[in-house]
Structure formats: structure tokens, C-alpha cells
Structure 1
């Protein structure tokens, strides 16, 4: 040590480390957004990108969506409207898989009849557009006519060459999100172009934004059982180590609730990291997917409970006016109908007491799996959330020397965390142990240490029963 004459001060690492605070319910939506409408594409959620939005204005700027969009076509419009308008929760992550240069259809020389109010194209969401007179003269947008690219409505200028015309010919291309395939939603990694797409982009969320996905939703695609299965797989191993929950719909072709459990079993939708929803909802004359609304309910419920997922989203208010299976006819489930769906691990909507409510506590693995850690949605999410928190909190200690200081720091810090969660009512109790039986000599020599945590999560009060008994002793009150 070099010679020193004087006074020094130094710092040592804190022996108690607070937990890394993470959000439990940040949703990742994978689907189609009408980005072709955006005049400025620099902020567009292009295919192959991950976009984080904290407000409705940001979502409009990135997705090009409007509240009047056809949500059946544009799943990310439905997702943004649900999160920012209906449930006022933020942030949300969007992965757009619609590419206007690929997913489009062309129309050549469509004849459009003009009236005093203008004309209407056979399709909407126009991408490219050329309008000519019946004699073949090309007209100028903004001079001879005006086109509403979203609705396909043509307005004729009074001073242009179309004044008095009764018809025009139009050649155009229009957005066709229906061309996006389930394989594009599942996505993959193209090593030749170094491009990742679809659900595989979820692994980029944390590295790009330092936030963890909490709920994975694919509106418009999750009713395909292959997509739902991949969503559940991805939810169980984000970046290979983190956990979330996936929420999927069942097809609208299932009209009668009696056939819904059979379909779920037949398609093997039995994963513990999956929530299966049926039917759909109607809000403001829009047909909306129950999976999207469930993500909104989960976000709202967590926000009301310190952003900790210990409260079940079941029996929480749904923003909807009616239910539908096919998107046309209203559907009314009785309590027995809804409970029969719950008994098969299906979450539904019930209008029984206090308005429309999300109804169901169980993940898709129920009833085949009986471990309450996996079958209850709140328990499944709590274990995943706490696991994520452990990983992020103690990542800073990876590669530290294995010694008493490291072991005691982890044990003391986590026990304080578990005690605080118990005091706040998030869990019933918890303890951490470093057991010799779980840490062999070979493992310790090889740099592997293992801690055992017992976690007492709280199951939802799914069944409350009151027993009433007649007591004849109270007859004595008749005689004063």
C-alpha cells in the first residue's frame, strides 16, 4: 500500500438490498395497425419493430388508429382504445405485423357513380389512388376531388373538371390485414436479413425499454390454437428466464357455450400460463374481443392494488353493454352457464349482479392440473411476478464470490421484502432458506447456489358459503 498521511473515507456496499420494482401488468399486443394512414412514418410501428406508448396520443401517432376503426380488422386499434380510453391504463407495448407494402389488394378501373354528395369506393383504407374521368383524364386530388382514405368516400370539387360528372374510374390499392397469416403472427428470426418478427419480438421488449411484459395478447390471431399455444410458451420463458401470462380468445364460430369446453380440450389449450376467454363483448356498437378487455381489467385491477398482482381480475367490472358469440346476435349466460365454463378453465363475461363482470379465476390448465400455484390466475401471476423481481434484483450479484457475505445479504434482504409483502397484505407469509440439502459440494464448487423460498399467496374467495339454521330458542322472545 502506498504511503499516506491524513484522513480518508471509503464506502462499502449496503448489506441490505431493496427489491427491483417492476410492473406486473404491462401488456404486449401483437396484431395489425393501420400505419399506412400516417402522414409521418418516422414514428410508425413498422413491421418488425417494438413500440412503447404511454398515452393515447402516442398510440395514434404510432399506429394510425381511430376510435371508429373496424376492430375486427385492426386488432391493435382495439387494444389501444381499450387500454388508453376504456380503462385509462398505461403504458402498453405494440408489435405491428401489418405491412402496407405487402398486405394489400389492387382494384383496376372501378366505376364509381357520383351524386351530389360524391361517390363511395367499394373498399376502404386506401393506400394508393388514381382517379380519372370517364374519358380517361387523370384528376388531381385536392383540386378536382378529395378522398377520405379511411372510409373511401370521394367528394367532388365544384370548380374542378369533375363538376357535373356522373361517374369516374378509379384504380387503387387498399389495406388487406386479412392477408396477414398466423405464421406471421407467430413470427421468427430471419438470419439472412437479421430480422425478428411476430411474437418472437417480445424478447426485445426488456432489452429495448427495460420494462417487462406482464400480459401477452394477440387480438385477431389468438383464436387460432397454434398462436395461443405459442403465446403460452413465450409467456413462460421471455428472454429464457422471465414469466408473464398470455390471454387468448376462442373462435367466434363457437356459438353455444356447451361446445366451448370440448373445443378447448380438443385443441389442447391446457397451459398454466394461458387464460382462455369466451365469448366477445359489444361496447359502443363495436364488437370487441374478451381477451383485450381482460388485459384492460388486469391492468386496472393491478393499478388499484399497488401494481402487485395478488388480486384476481374475476368479478371486476367490464366496460361493455352486451355479449355476443358470433358478433351479430346477443348472448346471455346464466350463472350456471358461466360457472360451467369456469369449471373447465374458461374465463367469461357475466351480467348477474352489479353489471357486466369478468367471471373466472382459473388458468387454462384447470381442471386437469390441481396445483393452486398454477390453476388460480392471481397465484400464477404472483409467482411469475415475484420470480421476475428476484431475477432483476439479484442480477447485480451474479459472479460475486460465494461466501457468507453474499448468502447473508440475499437472505436478509429477501426476508425483509417478504415480511413487508406480508404486512401489506400481498401474501400470507414467506421465508427464505439456504439449505445444505439443496446445495451439494459439487454445485458450490461449480458456482451454483440455490435458495429455497416458501411463498404463501392468497387464493381468491371463489366459493363463499353461509350455513343457516333454525334456532327454536328464539321463540322465547315472544313471551318478553
Structure 2
């Protein structure tokens, strides 16, 4: 016998929800990792929470045509001030490279500048002018570092190369153009590693510069509907605005149809955006805008990015030709499931609320971007929250814990205005005895996210009674 008063603790009967991430992009493309201080391995997901971290792990170059991930990191961190981003670089500098023959290069201020494509590896050989003399040693005769768009070879004072007016240099350079669409499509598979290696499930999938290619778009869409066999995301797909693509808004509609961009997990965009001298794929800026809007709503994706500011001063085709759409033209694109930009009230705004499945699919949970994203987000959250309940004894206590926890969380979303109403029930008709005996429970979630207010109509009427009250009162 224990003589006294004792206290024990029991597990809480209501689970705290593990809320799924929202507005987190997974971006596949090419980065100048030869210039990175701590280069990430190719083909692996890399989580970055700041510009400095992205540059450290991936490098940076203003040559966005060659290094597509640089466009995204500039937009997301510099323009939209959002984080995190998960990058996947598919440029392997160990294989995607070629030799540059030795040649004499002029020395300025004891420095030789090679293009950023130059790789600082064993292939970098520095000799006396002409190449027939001494071979200089790194660390004693010269040092190397990347600075902006250059690999700099700097002669060390008291070293043998310090007084040289020219240096004979041979090196390897990276060849981004050798990476094809298939490599980018294959890189999409790395999204499966995000949860296990980073603890994050992205809900936006991007491939700026490549998403307009059919093989890449197909890979993006396949993953958007089935990450780890469980989770859902949205694939942001650019419609080609190059010479072989769509150079008018009517051609964009045709291109969308012929490219079979018509899935509820796709958001189709046309054309591109420009800010100063920089051109952006619209998918790049939409990812930043979505993350910005989600962050403003506590990480809940219930609000549409439409009618919110892009960071641009023009809308352009791939060759830089400016595009200006009227409201009617932009609405025609929207009516065909294409999101675009509109400069109508003094600012360049994202314009459109429909996923790519519209108008073929008119199920509200599929074709409205915020409604569809809410269904995906709620589903992702329920999976992560109740995964820990799997394989426990299936008792009424377990079922009540799941139902109560889910309903409390959903009621909270309703209270914050993120849902108009929601509930979870266990319906007898959906749970036959044979399923229960086999350990299978089906819970039915009823939920209604608010639709975006796409049209507000004012009816104006002349009321003669005001004449009487005003003049005869």
C-alpha cells in the first residue's frame, strides 16, 4: 500500500493538428553550383530560407536563360520576400562540362577573369604566357574565387605569377545547354524526398523555362496529384510565348488545348512578365504571390492570388515584345482556364481564379484555385495529423479522438472565416461491417471554402421619391 496522494497524467483525448505547409514551392531547374560556396548535390531537394542561403548552396548568375533557378530565387527572396523554397538543381557539373583549350589571357590588376561557366576544378591549369613555361601552383602563385559573373584568378604577391602581363589558362566550363527536358522531368521525382529528408511537403510545383515543354508539364502534373502517394499540390505551368508558341491571347487558348493542359492540379499561365531588364516566367512570380497571400492569412490558402500585385512593369512575350490586354481579352483567357496579368487600375495584377481544368470541369472544388487549394490543404493536414493513429487498436475511443480532433480544428477554421462551414462524420452507410472487421475506417468531411467574389453587380435605379422628400419636405 502507498500511503499518500498521488497524481498521474493521461494522454489528451484531442490531437493537436499538424498543419500542412502552404505556399511552399518545389522548383526544378539549373543553378551555377560551380560558383556556390557549399554546393548541393545535383538531383536532391535543397531547402532555402533566405537569399544568402540559396546563393551559398546553389550559386547565382544573372544569366537566367542558362540558370533557371536563379530567376526563381531572385523573385521569391528579393521581390516577394517569401520563404522557404525547395530547389532541385539537375545540372551536374561533373558530367555537363567541356574543355576549353589553353590560351593566353591578359592580366589586369594582377587578375584574370574567366566567365562564371568556368569550373574551379583540377581542369584549371595556369601557366606562363605561351604555355610552354612553368605551371603555376594554386595557393602559392595564385588564388581563385567567384565574383559576380566571373571566376577570378588572382596572382599572389611574392608568387611566380605576380608580375605576369598574361597568363596561359586552360579550364573546364559547364554546359547548361546539354541538360534536356527529360532531365528536368526526371528531377520532379525528387519531390518524393522532401518529407523524409526535409520534413516539408511542398504544395506548389514549378519549373521556370521548362514547364512549357510537354514532358516536363506532364511530370509536374503527375506529382501534383500524388506526392508520396498521399499529398496534393498545384503545378504552375507556363504556356509557351516564344516564336513556336502563342504570341497572341487567342493563340494561347489554342496552345493550352493542344498541349492538353486541362487538369484540376494545374494552373495555366500566359505570357511572361518584365521588371526593368529582367524577364520572369509568370509561374515564378505567381508562386511568390501565392506564398505572400498565404502568409498574410496565417498560412491558410483560402484566398485567391487574383487581383493582387505582380512585381513587374510590363507583360511580355519571350522575345520581349510587350503585351497589353483589355479587360475583355483577359476575361476570355480566364474563361478558358488561363491566368494572366492585367494593368487596369494602375497596377499590374494577377488576373484569374480558375485552374486549368476549366471550362471542361465545372466542379467548384476543382476549378476555383482557392477552393481547390483548400481541399488539398485540409486533406494534407488530416493525413499528417492522424498518421500517428495508424495501427492502434480500433476502438470507439480512437474513433472519437479522431472525430473530435478533426472537428475542433475545422470549427476553428470556420471561426476564422477560412471556411463557411465544416464537419467530420462517420457514416454507417460508408462503414460496412466487413470493412470495420478489416480495420478500415472511413470518415466523411463536409467543408465549404468561400468562393472568390468574381463579380459584383450594382443595379442603378432612379427613385423619384427622393425628389419629393428633397424639394417638398
- Counterpart of 2:278? 286
Match of 1:413, SS? helix
Match of 1:393, SS? helix
Partner Cα distance (2:2, 2:253) in 1: 78
From the superposition, tell whether residues 144 and 303 of structure 1 become closer, same or farther in structure 2 (CA, over 3 Å). closer
Match of 2:291, SS? helix
- TM-superposed deviation, 1:381: 0.7
- TM-superposed deviation, 1:400: 2.0
Aligned length: 459
- Counterpart of 1:102? 95
- Counterpart of 1:65? 60
Aligned CA RMSD, in angstroms, stands at 2.7
- TM-superposed deviation, 1:138: 6.2
- Counterpart of 2:297? 305
- TM-superposed deviation, 1:6: 6.1
For the 8 Å contact 2:107–2:164, the answer to whether it is kept is: no
From the superposition, tell whether residues 61 and 83 of structure 1 become closer, same or farther in structure 2 (CA, over 3 Å). same
Unaligned runs of 5+ in 2: none
From the superposition, tell whether residues 441 and 463 of structure 1 become closer, same or farther in structure 2 (CA, over 3 Å). same
- Counterpart of 1:452? 444
Match of 1:432, SS? strand
- TM-superposed deviation, 1:148: 6.2
Match of 2:42, SS? coil
For the 8 Å contact 2:205–2:234, the answer to whether it is kept is: yes
Partner Cα distance (1:380, 1:431) in 2: 18
Partner Cα distance (2:388, 2:111) in 1: 65
- TM-superposed deviation, 1:23: 1.9
Match of 1:460, SS? coil
For the 8 Å contact 2:212–2:238, the answer to whether it is kept is: yes
- Counterpart of 1:397? 389
From the superposition, tell whether residues 89 and 156 of structure 1 become closer, same or farther in structure 2 (CA, over 3 Å). closer
1:218 pairs, out of 203, 207, 214, with: 207
Partner Cα distance (1:283, 1:74) in 2: 18
Match of 2:342, SS? strand
Match of 1:367, SS? coil
2:193 pairs, out of 204, 219, 235, with: 204
For the 8 Å contact 1:118–1:153, the answer to whether it is kept is: no
- TM-score, length basis structure 2: 0.89
Partner Cα distance (1:479, 1:321) in 2: 55
- TM-superposed deviation, 1:144: 8.4
For the 8 Å contact 1:232–1:246, the answer to whether it is kept is: yes
Aligned pairs for 1:428-443 within 5 A: 428-443=420-435
- TM-score, length basis structure 1: 0.88
From the superposition, tell whether residues 102 and 155 of structure 1 become closer, same or farther in structure 2 (CA, over 3 Å). closer
Aligned pairs for 1:21-36 within 5 A: 21-36=19-34
- Counterpart of 1:314? 306
- TM-superposed deviation, 1:18: 2.3
1:51 pairs, out of 46, 49, 55, with: 46
- TM-superposed deviation, 1:403: 2.4
